[in-house]
Amino acid sequence: MGLDIRLPIGGLFVALGLLLTLYGLSADNSIYQRSLGINVNLGWGIVLLTLGVLMIALAKWRSRETVRGEDATPEPSSKDRPRQA
């Protein structure tokens, strides 16, 4: 089975979200005068961080469901097997 694309994309969103969130928390408020005092970096950092965590959680949940589905395949019973003459 291949690599789920949600894992690396989710990791990228988490990394960028962390960077933006930390920058938004540590930056001086005077740089946000052009955006009407709204801390855009903090807002979008939280959005990207949330999206990344959601993508990673979906990838983990899907892989766990797939493994559970493969393990749950029943063995054919004696009734299902053809009789030998």
Using one digit for the tens of pLDDT, what is the confidence trace for 11-46? Answer: 999 999 999 999 999 988 888 888 888 999 999 999
**pLDDT, tens digit, 9 for 90 and up, residues 32-83:** 888 888 999 999 999 999 999 999 999 888 776 666 655 555 565 666 666 6
pLDDT, position 4: 80
Please report the pLDDT score of residue 60 as a whole number. 87
Q: At what angle do helices 40-71 and 6-26 cross, to 10 degrees?
A: 150
Query: Residue 13: which of 62, 68, 60, 51 has the closest Cα?
Result: 51
| Predicted local confidence at residue 70, as pLDDT | 59
